[in-house]
A = this chain, B = another copy of it.
């Protein structure tokens, strides 16, 4: 019954992958059964496999399942899943959506970024006065995030994409995403740069990369799609092109001093979606299959740094304050912006609730903070709890508003 020696690490990694996928699928299905996006369950699975729950059992099962030598391969799988996912997020972002929505979207997205950002700066100054500028800026950026992909799926499941509040929230979330990612990129640039000139250089390189992406890469990918479209190998060839493109962009942003996710997101945002979809109909399924397999590993790698039990009472107090600031910032900021721009009260309330969903995007941001060394395990745990609670609250709050207004909430199904 002895496993071959050279195989034992790979066998352990296979076991890890099987456990992670099984628990993620189980809790994801449970979350959907409860009317929640499945990402809430998947993140909970990641936390459960870390010190927060599995680590409480005797015999140190966390160290047995995820020993130090297993961490680099798992981190690689997690980061690969992450950049694939960020590419898909970039793909879903349709800038054309924003045209015509105009003034209301501008007001909502401005309110939903500015107020949480200011509250974040205030909370950081209050709770961690010696944390430094980087920590304060990072907390502020984290509170300003809205999860565009989770939002899109919540709206689709509730058949709200065509309602006024749905359209406004989705367009505002898109603007919010772009602004928040840019802000985060600036913060990350400041943190990693070794001086003011280095930050300027990072910004200049980023601008150059965006220009290259729009002016060179976008037409090139479109040309490739037209060149191989119709051939039986089109899907395989374009899959290879897309994966290499996102890897190279991830490398480029890493080399610039940003995080790999920015490059993958940028590449996804600029590739010509229609040309790719026409030439290679299974392309998104292929990338999505890969990402759905590896992304749960990211949740677990993140969950290994989360220790809810270790927060203690003072940590719980911090988490509560951060949570209140996050909710108030988004609800008041987004709904207030909507009201000022002329939205009816009920629509404004719905928009505020929707913009409060932080979901997976927030976890990505926090992972960046952890990697950059801006966040320690304690702060990471506080902010992960905030992200989970605000995302889980979106569905019930929408149902509450719908009940109050007498309109019935539609049945809930699979939401990521």
Interface, chain A (partner B; CB < 8 A): 1-4, 6-7, 9-11, 13-15, 17-18, 21-22, 25, 69, 72-73, 75-77, 79-80, 83, 192, 194, 201, 205, 232-233, 235-237, 239-240, 243-244, 247-248, 250-251, 254-257, 259-260, 282, 285-290, 292-293, 371-373, 414
Contact = CB atoms under 8 A, between A and B. Distances in A.
A79 B236 contact: no
B292 A4 contact: no
23 contacts: A1-B255, A1-B256, A1-B257, A2-B194, A4-B257, A4-B372, A6-B371, A9-B72, A9-B75, A10-B76, A10-B79, A10-B260, A14-B80, A14-B247, A14-B250, A14-B254, A21-B244, A21-B247, A25-B237, A25-B240, A76-B76, A236-B288, A282-B282
Nearest to A372: B4
Contact of A3 (B205, B254, B286): B254
A254 B12 CA distance: 10
Contacts of A1: 201, 205, 255-257
Contacts of A22: 244
Contacts of A13: 76
Contact of A290 (B18, B72, B237, B289): B289
A292 B235 CA distance: 11
A350 to B, nearest CB: 25
A412 to B, nearest CB: 14
A164 to B, nearest CB: 26
Contacts of A235: 285
Given A76-B13, A240-B25, A7 B285 contact: no
Give the secondary structure class of A's interface.
helix
Contacts of A290: 286, 289-290, 293
Number of copies: 2
Between A2, A257, A414, the greatest number of chain B beta carbons within 10 A of the residue's beta carbon is seen for A2
Given A3-B257, A4-B257, A17-B80, 13 more contacts: A1-B256, A6-B372, A7-B260, A10-B75, A11-B250, A11-B255, A13-B76, A14-B80, A14-B247, A18-B244, A282-B285, A286-B290, A289-B289
B75 A72 contact: no
Contacts of A9: 72, 75-76
A383 to B, nearest CB: 18
A286 B293 CA distance: 10
Contacts of A237: 25
Nearest to A25: B240
A266 to B, nearest CB: 15
A18 B247 contact: yes
Given A69-B72, A251-B14, A289 B239 contact: yes
A251 B15 contact: yes
Given A3-B255, A292-B236, A292-B239, A11 B72 contact: no
Contact of A11 (B2, B4, B7, B254): B254
Contacts of A255: 1, 3, 11
Nearest to A248: B18
A263 B288 CA distance: 25
Contacts of A25: 237, 240, 244
Given A15-B251, A72-B73, A4 B289 contact: no
A243 B287 contact: no
Given A239-B292, A286-B286, A290-B290, A4 B259 contact: yes
Nearest to A370: B6
